[in-house]
Amino acid sequence: MSEKESVREKSGHEESVRAPVGDFPFSLDVRFESGGGFQWTALWEALDRLLDDRDGPAAFLGLPDDHDALESVLGAVGRVPDGFRRVLVLGIGGSGLGARAGLEALAPLETRGRAREVRVLSNVDPSSVADALDWFDPADTLLSVVSKSGGTIETLSQFALFADRILAFGGAKALADGVTIITDPESGPLRAMASSAGCATLDVPPLVGGRFSVLTPVGLFPLAMAGHDIARILEGARRVIDGVKGPDRSMQPTIRSAVHHIGLMHQGVSVRVLWAYCDRLASFGDWFCQLWAESLGKVGESGRVGQTPLRAVGSTDQHSLLQLFMEGPREHCLTFLRVGGPWPHLEVPDMTALAPALGEFAGKDLKDVLDALGKGTMAALLEEQLPLVDMQVPDLDEESLGALFMHFEVETALIGYVLGIDPFDQPGVETGKLFAHGLMGRTGSEDYGRQAMRLLGGRG
């Protein structure tokens, strides 16, 4: 099939473009209001620049083929003593969201080898950290500390608390044996601590930004410790890369979605909703929100650009957000993410004797009820002519998860290149960190502390 061929169904002002993807890990059906012609030449030029940057700022594209990194993760997992039956990951933002998303998405799957219970602690909310300290037992829980820079405020302050607990339990040897640090290969406070304490380490590739790092040891180590097949995760990601480079790339789901959302951004659609009809993908929505917001919310040559991401879960948010989407400002586009399996089989019993209204559900699988709610919601939104993408994942397994991660990463980076902004930096995040260091009294940051106090009106 050529780049210009597609499967189209037109009805009124709506156009549906379905990407024929064969046995690809997911399918994608785009519906939108027909607008002006899209500049495909500009898209292909941006895609070529992105692919050419594989050895530079777009280094995340090469992760599926980084066999040395895969072997280093598997080796590190194999060296963890059998006595560690649990793992606590300390990591915030890109250092924690991807791991949590993967752990929750793959939770129902059968695990391999010595699968451990893995939890992720991100925020420094004292109540959350206190709960984690209560759960943490240095005798059977490995501490995995993740920060690309090695200087993340939240992670370092948490680490101090847990390191104190480990040292009190078993001294320097317990710290060396019970901590794995994932950070920059050469620099940063965590790298220095690992060297002095003798902790095991894994490297975050220097050219891969935190929010694009889920397919590095940042995400792969926790998932492998939980017993999941990380080689299959990378294989799913590789299939996305192969697709965007292939002869039918105009019909590849990632390209179709990028074209759709670039057009909507140019039309002023300011909010993108990722609506997963699967509780296990709620944290995946959180991961996506960081990726989309930090990558595309920038000041470009023509001014401020970006689109606000919003995570929704079905059917729960039919009872909260749907009213806004249906009758509120016309500023939303929606991506539905629906899963074929695995699901537990729960057949609703015939309870019409208790109440006639229950007869509607008698004999139906609960998954069919969820599907009907999702399809009904999509139909309602389409009737209102809201732009909508329907992504369907037949089997939510390691391969499809890897494909989803890479799909959204490539789509995000490609849109950044088309918009003429850098999707890999986050200059707007840094000022708040400088003020925070000043408020905590870091030497050399006193001016930031004083300026923060002035801006806050003297309120500490």
Query: If pLDDT is split at 50, 70 and 90, which confidence band does 8 have?
Result: very low
Where residue 88 sits, what CATH number does that domain have? 3.40.50.10490
CA distance 452 to 455: 5
CA distances from 210 to 55, 160, 248, 268 (A): 17, 22, 31, 29
Phi, psi of 274 (to 5 degrees): -100, 110
The verdict on residue 147 lying in a domain is: yes
Q: Long-range pairs for 59-62 at CB < 8 Å and ≥24 separation?
A: 59/205, 59/207, 59/208, 60/208, 60/209, 60/212, 60/213, 60/215, 60/409, 60/413, 61/241, 61/410
Are 346 and 412 in a shared domain?
A: yes
Does residue 445 have a cis bond before it (omega within 30 degrees)? no
Does residue 329 have a cis bond before it (omega within 30 degrees)? no
Are 309 and 387 in a shared domain?
A: yes
Are 77 and 42 in a shared domain?
A: no
CA distance 372 to 285: 22
Are 211 and 273 in a shared domain?
A: no
- pTM of the complete model: 0.93
- Give the residue from 173, 198, 232 where a domain finishes: 232
Are 256 and 142 in a shared domain?
A: no
* Residue 325 vs residue 6, higher pLDDT: 325
pLDDT, one tens digit per residue, over 166-220 is 999 999 999 999 999 999 999 999 999 999 999 999 999 999 999 999 999 999 9
Whether the pLDDT of residue 433 is over 60: the answer is: yes
The verdict on residue 166 lying in a domain is: yes
Which of 17-21, 157-161, 349-353, 397-401 is predicted with the least confidence, judged by mean pLDDT?
17-21
Please give the pLDDT value at position 5. 37
CA distance 400 to 279: 16
What contacts 145, CB < 8 A, 6 or more positions away? Answer: 90, 91, 155, 159, 179, 180, 181, 182, 183, 190
pLDDT, one tens digit per residue, over 52-75 is 999 999 999 999 999 999 999 999
Region 448-457 average pLDDT: 92
Whether the pLDDT of residue 239 is over 50: the answer is: yes
- Give the residue from 201, 232, 263 where a domain finishes: 232
In this structure, what token pair is assigned to residue 402?
Answer: 């890897």
Strand order of the β-sheet with 308-313 is 7-11, 14-18, 27-33, 388-393, 332-339, 271-277, 308-313
pLDDT, one tens digit per residue, over 94-122 is 999 999 999 999 998 888 778 999 999 99
The verdict on residue 425 lying in a domain is: no
Please give the pLDDT value at position 379. 96
The verdict on residue 325 lying in a domain is: yes
The verdict on residue 1 lying in a domain is: no
Residue-averaged pLDDT of the chain:
92
Domain tally, the chain = 3
The verdict on residue 446 lying in a domain is: yes
End-to-end Cα spacing for the chain: 63
Are 380 and 271 in a shared domain?
A: yes
Are 404 and 324 in a shared domain?
A: yes
Are 252 and 396 in a shared domain?
A: yes
Are 320 and 183 in a shared domain?
A: no
Task: Supply the residues annotated as catalytic.
Answer: 294, 319, 433
Query: If pLDDT is split at 50, 70 and 90, which confidence band does 24 have?
Result: confident
Please give the pLDDT value at position 219. 98
Query: If pLDDT is split at 50, 70 and 90, which confidence band does 153 have?
Result: very high
Are 219 and 336 in a shared domain?
A: no
Domain of residue 223 covers 59-232
- Give the residue from 232, 261, 287 where a domain finishes: 232
Are 198 and 212 in a shared domain?
A: yes
Are 147 and 175 in a shared domain?
A: yes
